[in-house]
């Protein structure tokens, strides 16, 4: 079995890829290049490809099919960058990855605390040797009502870890988890908007969740609400968020993911024109913390992504049950 790895990083992925491929008897080909119409030829002669966050569109899917590629495994939980309709059309199977939920959950809580205590503003001032108190007054997190939107593995872990902070926790999901219900109260999405001082997002990006935070839902929220997103950028309408930040409706935000981040995050663009105007605007607010979609990025998280990618390919192509299959 031969697997070609695109967007391969030798500084952190080399060891786990070597270890897991040897364990599974998989022959690897690797390249730091992302998959494009100009680089897909590198996977000629392979059975499957492993990718990261680069979009795979219908034109690329047709080329992969012509090359005999049977499967695409993305080393991410999210798979919205893969055109599933095109994959189905060309008979290419698709799987996603997984990693322990603690890394993202703890990162989300870190953003909550940083946002409520104005840590970014404090650090910016300290860099200028401004150690004054005025304007840095934080909010008492333990008095908050926190809403958790999405109670899958990560959302449930956020709730478990938050339970030690003394906050009141409300939760929303289309499927209620009995274990979560022991620590949080399930309510409607409208009640989340109305009651919560802080809302953290851990829902998948679906047609039903796209722009769930928009001008209308923002108006239903408390004045000064804090928003934290370590889920998917498309859950939040960025233009509506910018307007709400400018008006003070949103008091602070911690964003590990934003809309239209593909082909930007995970690349060094310091010497190139910065064309993501919405992100530039968000970064201009001192009460907004932006991190480049790295909540997952721990030793265990990275190893889990590599391992799940190769294991899913091995299971799928040998006709076994594949728990990571999305198509």
Which residue carries 């934290």 as its tokens? 228
Catalytic residues: 232, 261, 293
Cα-based distances in Å from 73 to 30, 77, 87: 14, 10, 12
Distance CA 118, CA 135 (A): 9
Q: H/E/C letters for each residue in 243-257?
A: HHHHHCCEEEEEECC
Q: What was the pLDDT predicted at 212? A: 98
The answer to whether residues 79 and 54 touch, using CB atoms and an 8 Å cutoff, is no
Tens digits of residue pLDDT in 70-95: 999 999 999 999 999 999 999 999 99
Q: CA torsion 95→100→106→107, rounded to 10°?
A: -40
Tens digits of residue pLDDT in 229-267: 999 999 999 999 999 999 999 999 999 999 999 878 998
* CB contact burial 137-159 (16+ within 10 A = b; e otherwise): eebebeebbbbbbbbbbbbbbbb
Give 161-166 contacts, CB < 8 A, sequence gap 24+. 161/102, 161/105, 161/106, 161/109, 162/109, 165/109, 165/141, 166/142
What's the whole-number average pLDDT of the chain?
A: 97
pTM: 0.94
């Amino acid at each position: 079995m031969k697997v070609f790895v695109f967007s391969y990083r030798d500084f952190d992925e080399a060891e786990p890829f070597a270890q897991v491929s040897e364990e599974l008897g998989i022959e690897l080909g690797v390249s730091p290049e992302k998959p494009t119409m100009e680089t897909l030829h590198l996977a000629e002669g392979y059975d499957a490809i492993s990718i990261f966050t680069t979009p795979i569109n219908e034109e690329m899917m047709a080329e992969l099919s012509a090359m005999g590629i049977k499967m695409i495994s993305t080393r991410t939980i999210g798979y919205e960058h893969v055109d599933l309709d095109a994959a189905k059309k060309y008979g290419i199977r698709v799987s996603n990855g997984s990693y322990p939920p603690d890394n993202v959950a703890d990162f989300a809580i870190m953003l909550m605390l940083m946002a409520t205590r104005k840590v970014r503003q404090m650090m910016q001032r300290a860099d200028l040797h401004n150690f004054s108190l005025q304007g840095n007054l934080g909010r008492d997190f333990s008095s908050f009502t926190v809403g958790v939107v999405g109670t899958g593995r990560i959302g449930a872990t956020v709730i478990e870890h938050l339970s030690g902070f003394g906050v009141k926790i409300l939760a929303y999901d289309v499927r209620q988890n009995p274990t979560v219900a022991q620590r949080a109260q399930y309510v409607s999405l409208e009640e989340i908007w109305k009651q919560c001082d802080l809302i953290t997002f851990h829902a998948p990006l679906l047609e039903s969740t796209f722009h769930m935070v928009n001008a209308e839902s923002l108006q239903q929220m408390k004045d000064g609400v804090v928003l934290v997103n370590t889920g998917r950028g498309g859950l939040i309408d960025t233009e509506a968020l910018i307007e709400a930040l400018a008006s003070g409706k949103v008091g602070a935000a911690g964003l590990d993911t934003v809309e239209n981040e593909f082909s930007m995050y995970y690349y060094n663009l310091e010497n190139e024109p910065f064309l993501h105007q919405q992100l530039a605007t968000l970064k201009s607010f001192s009460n907004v913390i932006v991190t480049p979609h790295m909540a997952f990025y721990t030793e265990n998280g990275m190893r889990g992504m590599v391992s799940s990618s190769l294991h899913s390919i091995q299971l799928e192509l040998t006709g076994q049950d594949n728990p990571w299959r999305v198509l």
